[in-house]
Every structure is written in structure tokens, then in C-alpha cells.
A and B are shown apart, each in its own frame.
Chain A
């Protein structure tokens, strides 16, 4: 029988773990426990709850207000892994620098990042947003329309990214993508990037921005980028959205082509 004193000696270890990884515990609580609780209580999905909140609190037609409401909901009520305000600023800056005309977004989720991108686009630019889940796509559609972007600016494609990318050229008449934003399944980052390379839609100077490459992290993606030598790349270090202590980063790749 292990004595209590020995068990007590493990207390510092437990405390250390709790303090060191407190942000992860908080995240677990907010993203998993709270979500499960509300799922049981309301019978709605998380995205639907977010949509309801936005519908009741935001000003229709004002993307600014919609984004703010989203941020408020995500930081105060529940957690949805949007790109968040801080990393969003980095993205805004990049968009204003590059002024892309054709933008592809993989993983629109609730439409937060779609609104964010569409807001910063120049006149006449077009954004293709890909979402795998049909329910999420419906909500994203509503949000986008609520923000006041019509079909000419934003086109939502509700199917998995690995099916969409090979068809982009044929079905949507795309010649070149100026800007690609990745925020879907982290596992799909690498195959999708490879598919994009294969489709020939990336031209010299095309920018690929991948969110959450450090946490939850996409090691295969980073390894591929490092090895392929097709990109000039850097990682913008930041923290995870709506959380202070978890380090995360966005990878910015500029396609250089084969030298």
C-alpha cells in the first residue's frame, strides 16, 4: 500500500502541470465541456448557436459589426476556432499588400474568415469559399449574405476540398489563384497544397496563408513546405485565437515556382 505521504509528494508535480498548462485546460473546458453542456441543453449545434447570437446582436449589412459580435461570442460565451482578431489583423495587412483578385478559402466554417477576407478585397475580386460540412455551409451562407456580400463577390462551395481543387479550373474557369487561405482540417493542409501545386493554379507570387500551423499544428505541411523549395515562407508567430498563453502561428508561403 502506497502511503499518503508519498502521494502528497506528487502534489508539486500536479501543481506544476496545472499551472504550466493552464491555458490548455481552459481551452479544453471551453471548447469541449461547455460545448457538450450547451449541446445537451439547447439541442442546437455550436454553429447554430453562434448564428443565433450574431443574428440577434449584430447589425445586418455591416461586416465590422458581425465580426465584432463573433469575437465577443467566441471569447465570452463559447469557443469556435475562427482566425480571431489578432491573426485576422495580420491577414488583413497581407490582403491589403497583395490586393488579390482571385481568392480561395478552404474551410469557411461559420463564415467569419470569409467575411473578414471579403471585407478586405479590392473591387472586382472574387472569393471562392470551400466548406465540407453542409450544415456549416448553410450557416456560413447566411452569415455572408447577412454581411452584405452577394454571389459576385463570394461563392460558397459546399463540398470537400480534395474534390473541389481539381475541378476549380474546369468548373469555375479559374486560371490563377492569387491568395489561398487554409483553415480546414490540419491533416488536409499538405495534400491540398500538393493538389494546388499539381493543378497549376498557383503562379509566381501567389500567396498561401495557413492558419494554426503550430497549434494544433501541421507538421507534415511544414515539412513539405521546407523540403519542396517552391516557396519563400515564414511563420507569423502569434497566440491561439481567444486565448493568451497558447502559442500558434500562421505560415505565409509565397509561391516561387520551380527554379
Chain B
């Protein structure tokens, strides 16, 4: 259709790219290719087919009319109705397929429908004629006549059918029978038969894919059997409802897809950039869902109850801004740093009161706080592991190395691509990958260059390690310096020096991956493997940065705790002085009222930790967005508009447009999540912030990708990388819960802030609840259950169970592999057998031909010739 001699790629509709690809690959077997030199041939064949169908249908109608005569006039228009129903249904089919983009098919279907409308006219005419004929024949022996006619037509048809395909013959036969059994009064036997046939059709539909037929025949059979099932399921009394349910189901499915947030956006991106970029956005959406739940937990069970039912602002020292900071507590700079009023609000740990139950609901605030903290982490573990398990089920666990070229040949097209440019890129990348694979194959046979590649890979890793060490040292240095600054007092230093740690971490996190990317060019890996290496390296970098940050935080916590000790001492002195100063020694006088803002208070290390995390998140987000705007958007604008007046081609040459950096973005997301998990206990506002960030970045990045990035030069599939992301997420989850749990378990909470103030450890809140809120026996049971004598065997049992399950799964995998091998060998044997049979048949044919060529010579010898002739016949029959 579109295939002219000097076509251009841009003119070809996208869905034809894979077809074209295969067209080039298999130039043989031209009859069955979808694209002919022009579509005429195809259409002509279609017409032929339609004509044939027409003929059959007319015959059917005639027969039906003859049998219907018996039953009266009501039934007369049934065939027509059926026709109409069929037409409608086919129309619908055509629409559905048209949506899928199969223009060709749509056209075919349209032609079909047009033909059918015409046919309907002709059908009616023929029917009328037929009826007239019947009337002429007479009413006395009409029945017998009709039957005879019926039989005759049936015979005729059978004769004709013999010339056609076997399957269509069968179908026609069946349809004929159905046509006869159609009358409304069906005996139970017939009904049973009908049911059986419908079931058979359904079976055929389901197994059609595996049939060794040409595509056209398959399509035809499929359409006809669909029609059949549709038609006679109605006769069986469940057709209409089924149709309705199908429509409902489809609508419901559509509705469901419409409900999935950002689905259309992601699909669009997928079509433009391939699945590797889309996998990032899918991951982002998944992350958003998890964060929504975390946000719901913290917001609904911690922040809102405290805000509504807890003591109001200003009622206690921990809920009041101290007198010294009051003057600039509302300044934007202070609020931006999450100090001032932001610090003394529900956003941070320190604001919460240690009152056991608050409000008229008797809401157990400290317990809720603790359980939500534990619950968020537990929930995250559960979700990540469940997703991983589900993903692991999806990949079959086959080996990828055995049929390299076959895989490349048959599976390299990415069917989600919907953009000509990307399709071009994919086309080019497939060709290059073929070239590379061939080269690789040749080289693996030569294998002289392997040492160089190995050396380069080792060198690349060495360089990356150097880089990691350097960046680690730089962060360490900066953190030490910032501690020095903190001791000296932050006010005497500039903004740059105060924010040095964050700045350096963000900058290193931004620039080092670029360096890794450049270094990884040395290694010459396949892009999918290169992506994983890159991910691993950036992972190491970020992890180093994060842990340096945490170690610095730990130091700061220790400092704060020392400060707290000093303050506790001072506090008693202050209180004593307060009492002594105002009253005499013996006082039973009314208590002195001091404004809560004036009461000295501890440094509250928990709030400090929370603030640090929140600041880190905010600065990280800002860096990401600014990089996006400068690195992608500004660059794209410059390249686009300066290109008109520049001395070289900016688009093709030096700055060019940026590609979407999958690995960096994924890792940014993962580490961001790690920080959320770590800090959420001390700053309940963190999940909310993260939800906001993810929401914004979804829109911003979608926009940025579509507007300022170009598809990667080597578009590759990333279907397997999702589990890689998940694995990293799990590692990060583990690594980020470690410090959080460590602080919760080992460090006593501050004495004058937070829901656990006054307790020696944070988890004492559980003990307390057990003692006071549960009946005594429960506490006893719990204490027995937590007895190490019981816990240890239980753990042991669990380990054993895990071991057992793992070994069984391993053996299953082994069995699977064995089965696969068996299947393969069986396949090969079958192939051999068929080959042998074919050879034998060919030999027989040759013999027969030889015999025939010899036969004229022997014609005089009557006996011999007859024998040979018979022999030939036999062989032909055998064949």
C-alpha cells in the first residue's frame, strides 16, 4: 500500500515498522506477507473470498426460507435480523481494530460491511423469489418438495466445498446444520448438540494461535467462529447477556485504565522514548502510591490527632517558640530552614506531648506515634518484597545466551514505540546490534582482544573507585569542617559555609554520575549491562554520601546530649533560684506562673535530626529541579534557537539535546525514599513533603522529557530492570532502617520534648501500654512469649523453613530446566522425523516420475504398463 519504490521512512505509519522489519528479514514467502507491492492483489483475493461467502450465504438463506415457510411468517425475517446483528458486531470489531491502528484490517472490514449491505439487498430479493417459487410449487407437497430441495442444495454445496479448504468445509457444514436446527423449537438433543458445537468453536478460538495455518486462514476462521458463537449462544439463551457483559467488561476495563494515574502520560513517553525511560516513570508512580499510604498513616494517626486533640500551641515550653527566637520566628529565611514556628509545630517530633491519652477519644498519642513509625517501615518492607516476588515470577528463568541471534531476530522490536524518530533510532539500533553481535561472534572465535577489554574494564573500575574515594574524602572533610563551624557558632559564617555539606553532597551526586558515565565508555558493555553497572556505581556513591551524613549526624546527636546533661543541671538550679528568689524558704503559696517561652529547654536532638533530614530533602529537590531547568530546558532552548545563527550545527553536534538519564533519576528517587524512611520517625511531615515532591516531579519530568530530551541513541528494552530497581530499594530500605532503629533502641529520648519524654527508652511505651491498658494475663502471655527460650527456637524454626522452601524452589527450577531441555530435544527429534518422512516422500515421488517417464517405452507391453501405472497411483496416494 505505502510501499513505493522511493518511499521515505517518515511516511510509513508506525505500526508497519515491525512489519517492514520482518519484511526485510524474510523476503521469501511473498504470498503471505502483509505488504504486497500494492494492496490490490490482497484486495482482489478478499473480494473473491467475499463472493464465495456471499454465495454460501445466499444458499443458506434460501434453505432457511424454505424451512421457514413451514413455521409461518414470523420467522421469516430472522435471517435478516441475524445478518444485521452480525454486521453490527463486525462493525464494532472493525472499530476496535481500527483503534489498534490496523488500517489495513479496518479497510478490509469496511469493504466487508459494504459488501454485506449490498448482499442484504440481494438476499432479500432472492428470498422473495424463493418464496414465490415455493408458492408456485404448491402447498400440498410443499413440505416434501422443500426437503428434497434442501437435500439437493446440500449435496451441491458439499460438492463445491470439496474444492475448498477442509476447515472451511467443516465450518460450512456445521453452519448448514445450524441453519436447519435454527427453528425456535429445539429438542433437548439438538440443543445439546448445538451446545457442543459452540463449545468446540470456543475451543478452536482458544487454540487457533497454535495452528500451523497461514495467517489469512487463521483470521478468517477466527472471525467466522466468533460470529458463530455469537449467533448461537443467543439461541441458547445467553447471548445477549453475554454481549452486554462483554461491553460492560470492556467499559469497566477502560474505566480502570482511566483511573490509573498518569497512565496516558506514561504511555506517550513510552512510545517516544522506549520502555527504559517509561520504566522510570512507572517506578515513580509506584513510589508515589507507597508514599501516599505512608502519608495517610502519619497524617491521619499522628499529625491530625495531635493538632486537633493535643494541647494547643503556647501551652507548654515544647510547644512554644523560645523568647530569644520570637523576634524572627516568622521570617521566611528561618521558616525555609524549618526553624521558628515551623520547628514548634506538628511537623516535628519535639512538639508532641508525652501525655498518655489525649482528647475525649482517649487517643493514645505516644503509642500511636511509635506504632506508626514502626508500621510505615514494616509496610514498606512488605510491599517491596511482595512486588519483588511478583516480578520474579514473571521472568521465566530461561537462559539468554543460547539463541542469541534468534532472540535478536524475533524479539528485538519494541512494540510500544509510537514515534517515527524513535522508531528510526530503534531500527538503526537493531541493525547496529546485529552488526555488533556478528562482530562479537567473530571476535569470540578469535579472542585475541579479550585481554585489552579486560584491562580496560579493570582500569575503568579502578578509576571509578578513585573517584568514589575522592568524593568520600571531600564529604568527610566538609562534615568535619562544618562541625568546627558549629562549635564556633553558625552565625559568624556565610551562607555558603553553613550550607557547605548539603551543597557539596548535591553537587557530587550530580556530577560524579556524569564522570562514571564517561568512564564506562571504556568498558564497552551492552547498554543494559552498562546501565546496571552505572546504577551500582551511583549507588555506592550515594550510599557513601548518605552514611557520611549519618555519621556526622550521630556526632551532632552526642554533642546535643552532652548539652542536655548540662542543661538538666542548670534547670534545677534555675528552678531553685526561681522559687528562692520570689518567695521565702517555706512556701505553700500559689505556684508561680512563668510564660512557657521563658522556661529554659533542652536542645531536643530528635527535632534536630528531623530538621536535618527535611532540609536535605528540600535542598535535594531544589537541586533536581534546577538541574532539570538549566541542564535540560535552558540547553534545549539555546540549542533550538541559537542554531539559526551559529557557526556549527548545535543540534547534531556539540551541545545537542540531552538524553534522559534513567540511572541517575532512579537512584535519586531511591535515595530520596531512603532518607524519608530514615527521617520520618523524627519528622512526621516528611512523607507529606515527599508526596508533594513526587507529584511535582511527575509533571515536571514528564514535561521536561517530552519537551527537551531526545530519545536515546540506543533504545533498549528495560523489561527486566524493574526488579533491579526493587532490589536496590530493598537494600536501601534495610540500610536506612538500620540507623533509625539504632537511634530508637540505644539513645534515650530527650527529657523535655517529644511523645516519649520522661522514658528511658522509646519502646518503653509498649511496655507501659501492656501494663495499663491490657488485662494482666495478656501481659503475662506477652512476657512469656518474649522469653528468649521461646523466641530462639521460633527463629530457628523460621530459618529452617526458609532453607527448606529455598531448596524446594531450587529443585523445581532444576526440574523446569530439565523439562525445557526435554522439550527441545523432542522438538529436534520431531523435526528430524518429518525431514525423514519428507525425504522419503520425495524419493518415492522421484521413483514414480521415473516410472512414468519409462512407461511410454513400455506401453506396448500392456501388462507392465498397467502395473507401473498402478504403482504410480499408489505412490501418489501415499504422498
A contact set with B: CB distance below 8 Å? 1-3, 5-6, 8-13, 15-16, 19-21, 24, 186, 214-219, 232, 256
Contacts and interface: CB of A to CB of B under 8 A. Distances in A.
Contacts of A10: 507, 511
B651 A24 contact: no
Contacts, number: 75
B682 to A, nearest CB: 27
B297 interface: no
Given A5-B478, A5-B481, A12 B511 contact: yes
Contacts of A16: 511, 514-515, 517-518
Given A2-B496, A12-B511, A232-B6, A216 B648 contact: yes
A182 B794 CA distance: 82
A216 B649 contact: yes
A6 B649 CA distance: 34
Number of chain B interface residues as a range: 20 to 34
Contacts of A11: 511
Which 9 pairs from chain A and chain B are nearest by CB?
Answer: A217-B649, A216-B648, A9-B507, A12-B511, A13-B511, A12-B515, A16-B514, A219-B649, A19-B518
Interface in B494-523: 494, 496-497, 500, 503-504, 507-508, 511-512, 514-515, 517-519
B474 interface: yes
B777 interface: no
27 contacts: A1-B494, A1-B496, A2-B496, A3-B496, A3-B500, A5-B474, A5-B477, A5-B481, A5-B500, A5-B504, A6-B503, A9-B504, A9-B507, A10-B511, A12-B471, A13-B514, A16-B511, A16-B518, A20-B518, A186-B647, A186-B648, A214-B649, A216-B647, A216-B648, A216-B653, A217-B649, A219-B651
Contacts of B496: 1-3, 6
Nearest to A20: B518
Contacts of A219: 643, 649, 651-652
Where chain B touches its partner, the secondary structure class is helix
B649 A3 contact: no
A24 B648 CA distance: 13
B649 A21 contact: no
A40 B648 CA distance: 27
A258 B474 CA distance: 65
A215 B648 contact: yes
B467 A21 contact: no
Q: Is the interface of A mostly helix, strand, loop or mixed?
A: helix
B500 A12 contact: no
B255 interface: no
Given A214-B653, A219-B643, A12 B508 contact: yes
Contacts of A21: 654
Contacts of B467: 12
Contacts of A15: 515, 518
Interface in B466-503: 467, 471, 474, 477-478, 481, 494, 496-497, 500, 503
B648 A6 contact: no
Contact of A6 (B471, B504, B518, B643): B504
A215 B496 CA distance: 41
A215 B474 contact: no
A215 B518 contact: no
Nearest to A249: B652
Given A5-B474, A19-B518, A219-B643, A12 B649 contact: no
A135 B420 CA distance: 48
A217 B504 contact: no
A8 B652 contact: no
Nearest to B482: A5
Nearest to A219: B649
Nearest to B501: A5
B652 A214 contact: yes
A16 B503 CA distance: 19
Given A5-B500, A12-B467, A217 B474 contact: no
Contacts of B517: 16
B435 to A, nearest CB: 13
Given A6-B507, A12-B508, A217 B518 contact: no
